[in-house]
Amino acid sequence: MKGSVSGAIDVSSATFVPHYTSFQRDEVDAYLKQHLQWKFVLLGGAEKPASDFPDTLISVWRGSGEPRDAEDGGAHLPPRYGDYVPIHQATHGKLCGLKSDDAVLGEHAYS
């Protein structure tokens, strides 16, 4: 069975890394390379090794956000995000992680 799961985390929020105050791209990339990890957890809490999921590919992408307001001047709308590129160093060399030499999403496609 194949599926797809995606999610987004705003790295500028204090919930991402409460003690981390720099959000320069190179520094965030280096932080993710060193600290990003993932686990495969079944319902009920049992952990499974990543090797049990050979078709899984985990990638991390960076994009930019543009704040926007409702046309009527009312409530704020969620930001509009775009210009996504993968952060290869965050996942390269980690089990199930996107590698920088990936045939489709590798660095060659974004240079």
pLDDT at res. 21: 65
Model confidence, pTM: 0.73
**Chain segment 69-90, per-residue pLDDT in tens:** 777 767 777 778 888 889 999 9
* CA distance linking residue 18 with residue 72, whole number of Å: 35
Check pLDDT > 70 for residue 13: no
Cβ partners under 8 Å of residue 85, min gap 6: 61, 62, 63, 110
Cβ partners under 8 Å of residue 84, min gap 6: 61, 62, 63
